[in-house]
Amino acid sequence: MSEGLEYWLGNMAVVGARVIQIHQPPSVGGVWIPVDKFGLLAPYIALASTIVVATVAAAICVKYAKRRKKKQ
């Protein structure tokens, strides 16, 4: 019987209240620790550096290989 919307709309009551205290809800668990932002980014920085170094090394090898072919 209380599942219908008409039941709840027909039985509304206005209640006057005054806020006395506001409490912060307790945390859900865990521990706050400082975040090491560089430590989080270090693997991505290393990957990007590896890709850049490999690209530069490949470009240098191709450049020297072309020079050797022209000299022979």
The distance from CA 59 to its chain's CA centroid, rounded to whole angstroms, is 35
In the chain, what are the domain boundaries? 35-72
Per-residue pLDDT 10s for the chain (72 aa) are: 556 666 666 666 555 677 778 788 777 777 888 889 999 999 999 999 999 999 999 999 999 988 888 776
CB 8 within 8 A of CB 2: yes
Q: Which two tokens stand for residue 41?
A: 């980014």
CB 53 within 8 A of CB 46: no
Token pair 């690209």: residue: 55
Q: What is the pLDDT of residue 50?
A: 98
Q: Which two tokens stand for residue 40?
A: 């989080």
Q: What is the pLDDT of residue 68?
A: 83
